[in-house]
């Protein structure tokens, strides 16, 4: 019976499944459209098969031919990469952050209102967590909205993936409210008793989410509504139902320590249970900022699981139209022709337009075949603009773009807010009006939605001039003139009057074709017949007046009508005549004047002459013609030959039988330029000191009427100046001149200037005197004894042969010298080569030699000095140190001597002071310095301050003192022994210091051992050998050194050692020193080989040194090779490597509540497992299960999802098992 029932149940289930899926159909929907990347539009779609499964990779790859994009009737082409589907594991969600702005959110976490320190208020802690949450969002898979609520709710930010906009809100202090109304957060506002507004609530905007809607609700207290208008309890049932209906996932956070009533706690738990686990979705009484950030991190993790798979999308390039809402249809021709539709709008601030300056161009009076160009700046606004070849469309080919500026010829892209300057050209075919538009808003021109340039070209209105030509007096001549006036404007005009006025108007008339008023459209013309009826001979003229009615005003246009009446001779010519200026380079100017007979019969010239102001300065070259045939011309050459500068004028007066001008004057005008300049005649340079430079200025005045280039023609070698000056007429320029004398004496020199036009030369004379005061006297030496005056007379001779030496006074630079008299008396000028005498007295006050000067004052430039030496009698002696050598560590005795004494015995000296200096790193006192022998050290130099050492009153050589100096290992190998500051106790001895030199005796040798081959465990003597000894002595005592080798291969027997990075360092002491020149075995030490990680080791001697003094040791590396090491058949040597054991080192932190770090060491490679277990041995979390290499390692895990308690980290290596305890406390 049970089997039958089961059979019927399965049968019924199959029928239900058939009925359900038999009626199910594939479906497609457009989730949303992203137009923010305009002109690139993305439509996100979901296609599901009949079973409700999404059709997408990896099960199906969408191709462009699978989806037809129809945007408002236009079939669009897929952009590259379209269609596109993110990986199905990528989940998208729409976050709605709701936060409480009731007044208590500004309090401390414990609810006290005591002005919490900065950063510790509830709202600040909440905002830091939301800042962390927003920063972690992926803009490609998420969007976020923000709502604040208190008494009412307010949307602070609609959905966006712009993090900057979101972060701006959660980094700015909010305006706090009095109440905490859950209803406003989830359901609606009630601004008054009769109004319900749900548009600001979270569950309302959840309907507009692109992805899975997720609410993160944060409050610090219970539901606390207003007492009026909206006083009721939280409508939790309505909120829960609405969230379930709209597929909303809800997280709830309650921060702070305020105790909630049971109803509020239950309501928050209810909302946290809309989807998922309440324990995962609810965080109560959070006070720790890090815990709050951790909860928001958990929200992100859960959203990554419950979010919708990121939808597929198609992308295409749109264009400017239509404005307003657009409709896109996605049709799937290969999948049952299913179609999904959706409307969207492109924001106006995304559509690119061109800002054009100037906004229109009106070309004026461009006469073909000429053209006109105008530069226009175009700037892309709102978005970039792509220009396609040719880049524009012109409604009139006469208007074009010939240059695109820095961008070059299209195609190119003009980025948003960038500009280029184009050149628009107008190439008219005629003078009539034209207009058009250069349009960029065209699919073959650019992607701009707005942007064109209205253009027009027109001439100002004008009436043609009419020339009737020649007509015989008292006869009619008719001329038909076509297009005498054309309407060149862009609007119709009406001709209301057409008249001939003024001048000889009575001889001109028009008739025949013109009926007024006449309206002319743009480009239409009028023609007319004109009649010329002259009544007397000669040229005739009048004005044609045309009056236009433009609709706005009447305009009168005027042109000329001319004619020439013939019948008698007439005379005309160029008049007046102007000649090119004459000057010294062009003293004459010729011109040809064509005299024309305007009549039909010969013109007879009866007389001619030059009349007027300057008739003598013009000449006729050749002869004047006696007659000129009708309507012909004859040339006449007239020369302008001015005698003086200035303007010239006269008339060529011609008498003839011309009807209208029998007395005809041709005015002749010429100008003769004057060329001259004036510099200063003489410049006094005054007194110039030899060896100095005297700068002066020459004024060059152009007193002519032409610009001149003035150049120095002749310049003495002592002068320096520029190469030329361009001086405009009637101006003066300053020429800088430098005089550099080469000898003393009077100055008399000339600089000659010239100018480039007429070579006029001018001379500037320089005067003055060059002084070089000096005398022939050289060193004067005067000897005397201390305090004894001595008078001396000298003759002073002037060394100059051209300039006197003026002496006003003679003084001495040292007071031991005093002037007594001169001959002649001062003040006196010593003539060139002459002399005078001076008598002075020398009274030495000490036995110090005086080097001073006799100073003669009174000359310009400088004082004259005569070197003067005062030499009193005194004692002299050499103080000397010889050369010495020594080894490091030795005490060297260095005597100080007095030698070559002169009158030293007579000086009465009993003690002397002196200093001895040397390199402080190489020598020092032994014993150390004492008050009797103090010293100082400055900049590495040690100075011994030796005071009051007794000496013997003798002129023989003697030893003052012997210095005991210890040789140290210094920075140098030698140092001078410098003697300074020597003086006697009587202060009457001159000491000449003879410095000594100390040189270090450097010692060196080579140390080495030998190469050995030994069995493991075989003790042997390791021998230390010495060779190449230099300067080695018993003074150095003995040698100490270290042996460095592989610690696993070699060890010293009973010898001290240390290990360092796998090496053993053995200390060897008590090695004797040998002075033998050959190889010498000094000593041997017991060593023992071992089976280690290698069959060889280098034996390195290091840190070798002598126990006394210093020896530089060179060492030779040797080698130990193990014998008898077993080798496997595959060639592998059987060695031994002592590896430390594996260990589970540390768990940090412990206790933990979040990210935790495990540190361990593996002694062997292989499969290693690390996991967490509870105290019952249950496996809670696997950390690692992988092949690992030996060595140190670190892994991390998150303990946040594990309950509080005691746990163990267990590590299983290929051969060992380790366990370490830790606690989780939240």
The string of pLDDT tens digits covering residues 507-550 is 998 886 678 898 988 888 888 899 999 988 789 999 999 998 88
pLDDT at 352: 93
Res. 1109: pLDDT tops 50: yes
Looking at the structure, do residues 1041 and 1060 belong to the same domain, yes or no? yes
Share of the chain above pLDDT 70, in %: 96
Q: Which of 425, 458, 491 is at the close of a domain?
A: 458
Computed over every residue of the chain, the mean pLDDT equals 88
Res. 482: pLDDT tops 70: yes
Before 824, cis peptide (omega within 30)? yes
Q: How far is CA 907 from CA 163, 880, 955, 986, 1115, in A?
A: 99, 19, 10, 8, 62
pLDDT confidence band for 36 (50 / 70 / 90): confident
Looking at the structure, do residues 1010 and 981 belong to the same domain, yes or no? no
Question: Mean pLDDT throughout 10-30?
Answer: 54
3 state SS for 363-380: EECCCCCCCEEEEEEEEE
pLDDT at 952: 93
Looking at the structure, do residues 303 and 190 belong to the same domain, yes or no? yes
Looking at the structure, do residues 895 and 1031 belong to the same domain, yes or no? no
Looking at the structure, do residues 607 and 512 belong to the same domain, yes or no? no
Looking at the structure, do residues 143 and 284 belong to the same domain, yes or no? yes
pLDDT at 785: 58
pLDDT at 786: 58
pLDDT at 1140: 64
What digits encode the pLDDT tens for the residues 592-636? 999 999 877 889 999 999 999 999 999 999 999 999 998 899 999
Query: Residue 8: inside a domain, yes or no?
Result: no
Q: Among 264-278, 299-313, 417-431, 738-752, which is the least confidently predicted range?
A: 299-313
CA angle in degrees (0–180, nearest 5) for 392-395-398 = 90
What digits encode the pLDDT tens for the residues 863-894? 999 999 887 766 788 999 999 998 888 899 99
What CATH number is attached to the domain comprising 78? 2.60.40
Buried b (16+ CB within 10 A) or exposed e, 1158-1187: bebebeeeeebebbbeeeeeeebeebeeee
Secondary structure E strands in 641-786: 646-656, 663-672, 677-679, 682-689, 694-702, 708-714, 719-721, 725-727, 732-739, 745-755, 762-771, 780-784
DSSP secondary structure letters along 924-965: EESSPPBTTB-EEEETTEEEEEEEEEE--S-SS-EEEEEEEE
pLDDT at 1138: 52
pLDDT at 1075: 85
Output the six-digit token pair for 509: 């008339």
Output the six-digit token pair for 959: 């030893």
Res. 14: pLDDT tops 50: no
Res. 1071: pLDDT tops 90: yes
What CATH number is attached to the domain comprising 593? 2.60.40.10
Instruction: Please state, in angstroms and rounded to a whole number, the distance separating the CA atoms of residues 228 and 520.
Output: 82
**pTM assigned to the model:** 0.41
Res. 141: pLDDT tops 90: no
Query: Residue 1168: inside a domain, yes or no?
Result: yes
- Widest pairwise Cα distance in the chain: 168
Res. 96: pLDDT tops 70: yes
Q: Which residue has the higher pLDDT, 114 or 901?
A: 901
Looking at the structure, do residues 451 and 504 belong to the same domain, yes or no? no
Q: How many domains does the chain have?
A: 10
Residues 1051 and 1057: beta-carbon distance below 8 Å: yes
Looking at the structure, do residues 1116 and 1149 belong to the same domain, yes or no? no
Query: Residue 722: inside a domain, yes or no?
Result: yes
Query: Residue 16: inside a domain, yes or no?
Result: no
Q: Which of 566, 584, 610 is at the close of a domain?
A: 566
Residues 537 and 473: beta-carbon distance below 8 Å: yes
pLDDT confidence band for 1 (50 / 70 / 90): very low
Q: Tell whether the torsion through CA atoms of 166, 172, 175 and 180 is positive or negative.
A: positive
What digits encode the pLDDT tens for the residues 1110-1132? 888 989 889 999 998 887 777 67
User: How many Cβ atoms are within 10 Å of 586's Cβ, its own excluded?
Assistant: 13
Q: Which residue has the higher pLDDT, 400 or 113?
A: 400
pLDDT at 1044: 94
Pairing of the two strands 27-34 and 40-48:
antiparallel
Query: Residue 473: inside a domain, yes or no?
Result: yes
pLDDT at 138: 86
pLDDT at 371: 92
User: How many Cβ atoms are within 10 Å of 344's Cβ, its own excluded?
Assistant: 16
pLDDT at 626: 92
pLDDT confidence band for 807 (50 / 70 / 90): very high
Secondary structure E strands in 49-193: 68-71, 74-76, 91-100, 142-149, 153-160, 189-192
pLDDT at 8: 36
Q: Which of 540, 566, 592 is at the close of a domain?
A: 566
Query: Residue 738: inside a domain, yes or no?
Result: no
Instruction: Please state, in angstroms and rounded to a whole number, the distance separating the CA atoms of residues 546 and 811.
Output: 106
Output the six-digit token pair for 1173: 């277990």
Looking at the structure, do residues 662 and 622 belong to the same domain, yes or no? yes
Looking at the structure, do residues 279 and 404 belong to the same domain, yes or no? no
What CATH number is attached to the domain comprising 284? 3.40.50.410
Query: Residue 945: inside a domain, yes or no?
Result: yes
What CATH number is attached to the domain comprising 952? 2.60.40.680
Buried b (16+ CB within 10 A) or exposed e, 871-891: bbebbebbbbbeebebbbbbe
Looking at the structure, do residues 166 and 287 belong to the same domain, yes or no? yes
Res. 1046: pLDDT tops 80: yes
Res. 193: pLDDT tops 80: no
Q: Tell whether the torsion through CA atoms of 812, 815, 816 and 818 is positive or negative.
A: positive
Q: Can you tell me which residue has the tokens 């001290």?
A: 1056
pLDDT at 873: 66
Looking at the structure, do residues 96 and 224 belong to the same domain, yes or no? yes
For 646, the domain range is 571-672
- In sequence order, what are the residues at sequence separation of 6 or more whose Cβ sits closer than 8 angstroms to the Cβ of residue 943? 915, 916, 917, 935, 936, 937
Residues 1037 and 1073: beta-carbon distance below 8 Å: yes
What digits encode the pLDDT tens for the residues 910-959? 999 999 999 999 899 988 888 878 999 999 999 999 999 999 989 899 99
Residues 153 and 165: beta-carbon distance below 8 Å: no
Res. 809: pLDDT tops 70: yes
Q: Which residue has the higher pLDDT, 874 or 692?
A: 692
- Alpha-helical (H) ranges within 273-338 are 278-281, 289-306
pLDDT at 11: 37
Query: Residue 474: inside a domain, yes or no?
Result: yes
pLDDT at 787: 62
């Amino acid at each position: 019976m049970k089997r039958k029932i089961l059979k019927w149940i399965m049968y019924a289930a199959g029928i239900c499944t058939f009925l359900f899926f038999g009626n199910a159909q594939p479906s497609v929907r457009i989730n949303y459209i992203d137009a923010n990347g305009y002109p690139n539009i993305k439509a996100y779609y979901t296609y599901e098969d009949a079973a409700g499964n999404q059709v997408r990779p990896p099960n199906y790859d969408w191709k462009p031919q699978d989806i037809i994009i129809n945007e408002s009737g236009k079939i669009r082409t897929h952009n590259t990469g379209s269609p596109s589907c993110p990986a199905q594991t990528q989940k998208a969600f729409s976050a709605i952050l709701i936060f409480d702005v009731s007044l208590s959110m500004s309090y401390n976490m414990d609810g006290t209102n005591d002005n919490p320190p900065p950063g510790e208020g509830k709202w600040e802690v909440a905002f830091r967590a939301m800042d962390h949450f927003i920063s972690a969002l992926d803009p490609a898979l998420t969007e976020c909205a923000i709502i604040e609520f208190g008494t009412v709710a307010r949307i602070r930010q609609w959905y966006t993936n712009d993090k900057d906009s979101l972060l701006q809100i959660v980094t700015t202090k909010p305006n706090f409210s009095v109440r905490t109304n859950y209803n406003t957060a989830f359901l609606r506002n009630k601004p008054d008793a009769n109004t319900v507004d749900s548009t600001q609530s979270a569950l309302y905007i959840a309907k507009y989410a692109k992805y899975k809607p997720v609410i993160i609700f944060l409050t610090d207290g219970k539901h606390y509504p207003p007492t009026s208008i909206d006083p009721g309890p939280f409508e939790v049932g309505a909120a829960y139902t609405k969230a379930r209906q709209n597929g909303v996932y809800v997280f709830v956070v309650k921060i702070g320590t305020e105790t909630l009533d049971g109803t509020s706690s239950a309501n928050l738990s209810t909302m946290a249970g809309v989807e998922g686990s309440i324990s995962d979705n609810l965080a109560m009484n959070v006070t720790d900022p890090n815990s709050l950030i951790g909860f928001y991190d958990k929200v992100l993790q859960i959203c990554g699981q419950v979010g919708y798979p990121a939808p597929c999308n198609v992308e295409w390039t749109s264009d400017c139209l239509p404005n307003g809402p657009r409709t896109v249809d996605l049709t799937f021709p290969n999948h049952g022709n299913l179609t999904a539709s959706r409307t969207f709008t492109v924001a106006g601030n995304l559509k690119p337009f061109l800002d054009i300056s100037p906004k229109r161009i009106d070309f004026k009076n461009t006469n073909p075949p000429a053209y006109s160009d105008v530069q226009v700046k175009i700037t892309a606004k709102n978005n970039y603009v792509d220009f396609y070849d040719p880049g524009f469309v012109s409604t009139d080919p006469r208007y074009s773009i010939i240059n695109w500026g820095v961008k070059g010829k299209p195609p190119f892209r003009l980025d948003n807010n960038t500009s280029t300057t184009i050149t628009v050209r107008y190439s008219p075919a005629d003078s009539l009006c034209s207009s058009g538009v250069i349009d960029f808003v065209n699919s073959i021109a650019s992607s701009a939605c707005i942007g064109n340039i209205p253009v027009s070209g027109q001439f100002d209105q004008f009436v043609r001039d009419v020339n009737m030509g020649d007509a015989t007096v008292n006869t009619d001549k008719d001329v038909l003139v076509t297009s005498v006036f054309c309407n060149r404007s862009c609007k119709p005009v009406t001709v209301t009057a057409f008249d001939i006025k003024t001048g000889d108007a009575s001889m001109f008339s028009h008739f025949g074709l013109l009926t007024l008023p006449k309206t002319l459209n743009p480009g239409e013309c009028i023609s007319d017949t004109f009649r010329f009826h002259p009544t007397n001979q000669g040229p005739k003229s009048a004005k044609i007046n045309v009056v236009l009615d433009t609709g706005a005003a009447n305009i009168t246009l005027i042109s000329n009508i001319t004619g020439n009446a013939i019948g008698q001779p007439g005379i005309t010519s160029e008049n007046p005549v102007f000649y090119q200026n004459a000057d010294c380079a062009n003293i004459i100017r010729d011109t040809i004047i064509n005299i024309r007979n305007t009549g039909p019969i010969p013109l007879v010239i009866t007389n001619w002459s030059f009349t007027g102001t300057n008739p003598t300065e013009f000449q006729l070259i050749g002869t004047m013609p006696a007659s000129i045939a009708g309507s012909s011309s004859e040339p006449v050459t007239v020369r302008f030959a001015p005698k003086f500068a200035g303007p010239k004028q006269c008339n060529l007066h011609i008498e003839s039988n011309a009807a209208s001008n029998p007395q005809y004057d041709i005015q002749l005008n010429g100008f003769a330029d004057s060329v001259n300049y004036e510099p200063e005649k003489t410049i006094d340079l005054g007194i110039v000191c030899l060896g100095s430079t005297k700068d002066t200025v020459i004024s060059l005045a152009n007193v002519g009427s032409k610009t001149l280039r003035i150049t120095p023609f002749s310049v003495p070698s002592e002068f320096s100046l520029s190469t030329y000056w361009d001086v405009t007429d009637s101006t003066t320029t300053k020429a800088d001149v430098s005089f550099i004398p080469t000898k003393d004496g009077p100055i008399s020199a000339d600089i000659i200037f010239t100018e480039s036009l007429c070579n006029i030369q001018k001379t500037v004379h320089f005067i003055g005197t060059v002084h070089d005061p000096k005398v022939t006297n050289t060193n004067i030496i005067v000897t005397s004894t201390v305090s004894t005056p001595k008078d001396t007379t000298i003759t002073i001779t002037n060394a100059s042969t051209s300039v006197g030496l003026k002496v006003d006074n003679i003084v001495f630079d040292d007071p031991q010298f005093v002037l007594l008299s001169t001959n002649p008396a001062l003040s006196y000028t010593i003539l060139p080569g002459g002399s005078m005498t001076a008598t002075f007295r020398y009274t030495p006050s000490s036995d110090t030699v005086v080097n001073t000067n006799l100073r003669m004052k009174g000359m310009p430039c400088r004082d004259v000095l005569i070197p003067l030496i005062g030499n009193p009698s005194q004692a002299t002696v050499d103080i000397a140190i010889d050369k010495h050598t020594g080894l490091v560590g030795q005490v060297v005795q260095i005597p100080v001597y007095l030698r070559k004494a002169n009158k030293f015995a007579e000086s009465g000296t009993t003690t002397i002071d002196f200093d001895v200096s040397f390199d402080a790193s190489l020598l020092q006192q032994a014993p150390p310095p004492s008050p009797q022998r103090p010293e100082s050290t400055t900049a590495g130099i040690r100075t011994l301050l030796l005071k009051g050492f007794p000496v013997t009153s003798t002129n023989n050589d003697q030893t003052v003192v012997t210095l005991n100096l210890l040789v140290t290992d210094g920075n140098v190998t030698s140092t001078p022994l410098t003697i300074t500051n020597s003086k006697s106790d009587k202060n009457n001895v001159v000491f000449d210091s003879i410095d000594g030199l100390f040189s270090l005796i450097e010692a060196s040798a080579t140390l080495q051992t030998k190469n050995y081959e030994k069995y493991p465990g075989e003790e042997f003597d390791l021998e230390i050998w010495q060779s190449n000894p230099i300067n080695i002595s018993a003074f150095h005592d003995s040698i100490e050194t270290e042996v460095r080798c592989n610690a696993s291969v070699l060890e010293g027997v009973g010898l001290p050692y240390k290990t360092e990075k796998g090496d053993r360092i053995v200390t060897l002491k008590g090695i004797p020193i040998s002075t033998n020149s050959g190889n010498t075995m000094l000593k041997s030490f017991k060593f023992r080989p071992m089976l280690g990680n290698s069959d060889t080791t280098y034996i390195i001697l290091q840190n070798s040194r002598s126990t006394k003094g210093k020896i530089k040791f060179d060492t030779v590396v040797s080698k130990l090779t193990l014998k008898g090491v077993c080798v496997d058949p595959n060639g592998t040597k059987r060695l031994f490597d002592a590896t430390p054991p594996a260990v589970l080192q540390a768990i940090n932190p412990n206790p933990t509540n979040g990210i935790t770090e495990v540190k361990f060491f593996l002694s062997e490679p292989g499969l290693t497992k690390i996991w967490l277990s509870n105290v019952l041995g249950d496996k809670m979390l696997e950390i690692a299960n992988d092949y690992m290499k030996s060595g140190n390692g670190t892994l991390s895990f998150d303990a946040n999802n594990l309950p509080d308690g005691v746990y163990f980290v267990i590590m299983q290596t290929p051969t060992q098992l380790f366990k370490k305890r830790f606690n989780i406390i939240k």
